[in-house]
Structure 1
């Protein structure tokens, strides 16, 4: 048997070391270094936006994006229940009211046709989160947002390089965000970015990232607004620049992994494989997400434990936001029932899909999964 195969292992085989050495040699390791601006400009240009604001992580990017829209306390924001907590947590901690939607069972994303029924006079924004490799159907979201004069917060944390109808994810929201955690297509270790086209939102985002320091040098330590120290370092940005140089081959590798798993697992009757494409996008396989059919007698937890014993890393699906104890204890989402989100948590998990995976490792994962399921 091979050594343990983790869910993700980043691939740092480009100019990462060269650029990091440049930071060390020049002494530019803080948030003032030249790689920051370079990474912001190149990421914005790649996605098709005018501006980018690099920050410490994807959760910080969400905080900045939401605050930059000037939403008011108690405003309602329509958001998915099936997502990571960061998305909804940023709404709650910014004194907004999340109104949750269930997800589509096969794409894992919200069904935009469900949005309109949730709109009230208090609704001010829609948060879309593209999940696991497939995009939300954005045309309908944009149409509804225009009809009701709502802002769009686009969480593209997992979607570097993915396209919706030929246009890059991260280009659709009034504000859009990315995460650069090590399990993402592009990593800076930790890191995030907010992207936008509006210069006012851009300037506010930069200020929020940097403790809202006054632009007047005579008022350097006089603050009129609350912000955060969410600055990315030059070291992190150097990694990002090197990673972005390889984005096309990264996407190609992600789809190679997904398509090879599809080929190796297609005849296993007890599982549903991820959808390879929809009418508007081709799966980028950020993770390789599997769901169990009702005929399977073992639980997801049991299968994951058996795989782990055999040297295969896995992760469960997201636990729905409307079931999160922290939110229920705050009086949020009590007694809400969103069946698809609940069911997916019970039957879903994903297997190794990191960029460092070899063909032999993918074949070993598929072989071991087959053994465990049988």
Structure 2
């Protein structure tokens, strides 16, 4: 007789909490010192923001880093600095958070959705190549879940067509492609410090680059159009106040000290989970190539085949797994182009041509991903190996109960 499922009142298979964020007295004391100093602002008070920017740039192997209020704004800063003009096209994947595409709209540009690779859920280089037109100006590859995109192929395409590459690394703090930190490969790397992210201060964002001109422009846009060496009330570029605070910066500096160790642990646990789940009928972890030298698993993703679970729907399986105590989620319900924003073209944007019709967009791999993916969240990957085994046992418990 199978064990009673937790969703039906049985005991949880995983009886453990996985706290996030992780902090200690050093974090509390660092923030307290800033609060007590009264020097909270940026750039008029203190130097913690500049210190963190320098630390993060060095960590990523980049020359420059510029903090801002969040990861959505960081994408906007990158796009404007890269020189996009109203009506230009920017190629984006449809399996990602809304701001990868909405930031393009905010720049009065046209998001062009291209399909993802079915095995990785990352943007397909072949689909990028096929979508390029004379109006294409940039590509935003998203390292989804912390899994690196095929950056060799993407950078080759960009070089041949004269395009800018803005890495959306909101999920990818600490991850590597062929030994290089993600975000450091394209023209600009964009990160988020929102509360769920692997490096967090609750909210916040940052852009990194090796390009002197891009750095100067993004720094100016972040600080209401001021330029280095200019007067306080001189404004040269159409920026806004997107600055972070000293409190966020000092907290991020403390959190950064843990990131490499945490990333290695997520990477090791992800590899172990791949072994465990590959042996369960109906589950398939995403493909990880040899180019992925370090995966930060902001999201651990596997494909779910309902036919091996008695026809149990993906949504019901996800609910059962969460009830068993596995920090998990069913993922996106549909690709971005099916969001009402795009279906209704509710843009308040004057530069998108009338012929652009997102109701006609169809990316079959992205749509399949939205029907089959199960996500395990990043803080769960900071558990121990026995916790990963417990996650696998929770899935087997559901399979036994259903089949």
TM-score, length-normalised on structure 2? 0.85
Q: Tell me what 1:267 maps to.
A: 279
Which region of structure 1 is more displaced relative to structure 2, 235-244 or 9-18?
9-18
Q: How do 1:160-179 and structure 2 match up within 5 A? A: 160-179=173-192
Aligned match for 2:298, one of 286, 302, 318: 286
Q: Contact 2:96–2:142 at 8 Å: present in 1 too? A: yes
Q: Tell me what 2:349 maps to.
A: none
Change (3 A) 1:317 1:7: farther
Which region of structure 1 is more displaced relative to structure 2, 206-215 or 351-360?
351-360
Count of residues in correspondence between the two structures = 372
Instruction: Tell me, yes or no, if structure 1 residue 186 matches structure 2 residue 199.
Output: yes
In the aligned structure 2, how far is the partner of 1:217 from the partner of 1:121? Answer: 37
Q: CA deviation at 1:65?
A: 0.9
Q: CA deviation at 1:8?
A: 6.8
Q: Deviations over 1:183-215 (max 9, x none)?
A: 222112211101112222212112211222466
Change (3 A) 1:356 1:143: closer
In the aligned structure 1, how far is the partner of 2:18 from the partner of 2:357? Answer: 32
Q: CA deviation at 1:372?
A: 2.0
Q: Deviations over 1:334-365 (max 9, x none)?
A: 22111000010111121243065355544443
Q: How do 1:245-264 and structure 2 match up within 5 A? A: 245-264=257-276
Q: Tell me what 2:97 maps to.
A: 84
Q: Secondary structure at the match of 1:288?
A: strand
Q: CA deviation at 1:249?
A: 0.7
Q: Tell me what 1:328 maps to.
A: 343
Change (3 A) 1:182 1:14: farther
In the aligned structure 1, how far is the partner of 2:87 from the partner of 2:184? Answer: 27
Aligned match for 2:121, one of 100, 108, 113: 108
Which region of structure 1 is more displaced relative to structure 2, 116-125 or 357-366?
357-366
Q: Contact 1:7–1:353 at 8 Å: present in 2 too? A: no
Q: Contact 1:8–1:353 at 8 Å: present in 2 too? A: no
Instruction: Tell me, yes or no, if structure 1 residue 30 matches structure 2 residue 41.
Output: yes
Which region of structure 1 is more displaced relative to structure 2, 175-184 or 258-267?
258-267
Q: CA deviation at 1:266?
A: 3.4
Q: Contact 1:11–1:356 at 8 Å: present in 2 too? A: no
Q: Deviations over 1:87-133 (max 9, x none)?
A: 01100111111111101111111121222221111111111111113
Q: CA deviation at 1:279?
A: 3.1
Aligned match for 1:67, one of 80, 87, 94: 80
Q: Which runs of 5+ in 1 are unaligned?
A: none
Q: How do 1:201-220 and structure 2 match up within 5 A? A: 201-213=214-226, 220=232
Q: Contact 1:39–1:240 at 8 Å: present in 2 too? A: yes
Which region of structure 1 is more displaced relative to structure 2, 336-345 or 27-36?
27-36
Instruction: Tell me, yes or no, if structure 1 residue 226 matches structure 2 residue 241.
Output: no
In the aligned structure 1, how far is the partner of 2:200 from the partner of 2:341? Answer: 29
Q: Tell me what 2:53 maps to.
A: 40
Which region of structure 1 is more displaced relative to structure 2, 260-269 or 336-345?
260-269
In the aligned structure 1, how far is the partner of 2:213 from the partner of 2:230? Answer: 20
Q: CA deviation at 1:135?
A: 0.9
In the aligned structure 2, how far is the partner of 1:5 from the partner of 1:117? Answer: 47
In the aligned structure 1, how far is the partner of 2:364 from the partner of 2:243? Answer: 39
In the aligned structure 2, how far is the partner of 1:68 from the partner of 1:6? Answer: 43
Q: Contact 1:36–1:237 at 8 Å: present in 2 too? A: yes
Q: Tell me what 1:309 maps to.
A: 323
TM-score, length-normalised on structure 1? 0.91
